[in-house]
Amino acid sequence: MFIEALIILIDFGFTTALSYLLPRSQGYHYWVPFIYLIVGYIVGIALMWLVLTCFALPFNKEKKYKKPNKWANFWLTEAITFIDNHARAKIIYKSKLEMPKENYLLVCNHRSKFDPMLLTKLYGHKGLSFISKPTNFNIPLGGHFMKASCYLSIDRYDKLKSLEVMKEASELIANDLVSIGVFPEGTRSEDEKLHEFHEGVFSIAKKTNCPIVVVTFDGTENIHKNFPKRRTKIYYDMIEVLYPNDYENMIVKEISDHVYQKMYESLGK
């Protein structure tokens, strides 16, 4: 909400300044200040874009960061929160368990581009980075912040590079730097069904003995359909937190099957 507060502050400052500086003619109408407010809000967004640009450009998208930059994570989370709020997405909690105190592997179903954005809004400031597809790092400004926040780019069609990314993710968790979010389906579901998992992502937990936080979203696929006419209700379910002693006797395939079944039951399909 920091960016939103700054924009509102700029907006009111702009409106107040115009109200005092511009002369009031006989044709002055009561709705003029509202026009100033709208223009001021646009000016605020433009100024914040310049601020984000100044903070983002020093971060190299081609560099491999060994630890997350706190400023990059702060601005990325704030910018995504601003977008989420304006997308009119209302999260309704079906259940919410206590999050682990240590870093964890978070797994979620995938229906929309808003899935990682909403999770960033919820947990980004607490140190949650994602394994993401390469094209997401081309997002203006966002790509710079993502790289510096230790987001990892994965080519799911290259097995050797995928294994290397899993190793990097494991090291980030093991070194107590960030938690890692993944979408085991590998890509967005176009039919709203839960698709087969890429079980390899669960090797991150096996290598690090970290908790596995299992969550689902239902309704994120409707955000782009409803915007801007109406608010979208998003049902968020934190199904289970698996600690190392819960899965120590399970192989990666068994963990994957267990999590899949839990998600399937939560989504009701």
The fraction of the chain above a pLDDT of 70, given in percent, is 96
pLDDT greater than 70 at residue 24: no
Q: Which helix (H) or strand (E) holds 91?
A: strand 89-95
* Radius of gyration of the chain measured on its C-alpha atoms: 21
DSSP string, 157-192: T-HHHHHHHHHHHHHHHHTTS-EEEE-TTSS--SSS
Alpha carbon distance 109, 190 (integer Å): 12
Residue 25: its pLDDT value, please? Answer: 59
Amino acid (one-letter) located at 165: V
The partner residues of 90 in beta bridges, in order of sequence, read 233
Architecture per CATH, 69-267: 3-Layer(aba) Sandwich (3.40)
Residue 20: its pLDDT value, please? Answer: 77
- Give 30-70 pLDDT, tens digit per residue: 677 788 889 999 999 999 999 999 999 999 988 999 999 99
- Give 181-228 pLDDT, tens digit per residue: 999 999 999 898 999 999 999 999 999 999 999 999 999 999 999 998
Contact between residue 183 and residue 107 where contact means Cβ atoms under 8 Å apart: yes
The partner residues of 153 in beta bridges, in order of sequence, read 132
Alpha carbon distance 189, 167 (integer Å): 26
Name the least confident of 2-6, 72-76, 171-175. 2-6
pTM (2 decimals)?
A: 0.91
Q: Which helix (H) or strand (E) holds 202?
A: none
- Give 90-104 pLDDT, tens digit per residue: 999 998 789 999 999
pLDDT greater than 70 at residue 258: yes
pLDDT greater than 60 at residue 26: no
> What are residue 231's phi and psi, to 5 degrees?
-75, 150
The mean of the pLDDT values for the chain is 92
DSSP helix, strand, coil percent of the chain (3-state; round to 5): 50, 15, 35
Domain boundaries, the chain: 2-55, 69-267
pLDDT greater than 90 at residue 156: no
* Number of alpha carbons in the 13 Å side-chain half-sphere of residue 195: 13
Contact between residue 56 and residue 145 where contact means Cβ atoms under 8 Å apart: yes
Alpha helices in the chain (DSSP H): 2-21, 32-56, 70-86, 114-123, 142-148, 159-174, 203-208, 223-226, 244-247, 252-267
- What is the band of 268 on the pLDDT scale with cuts at 50, 70, 90? confident
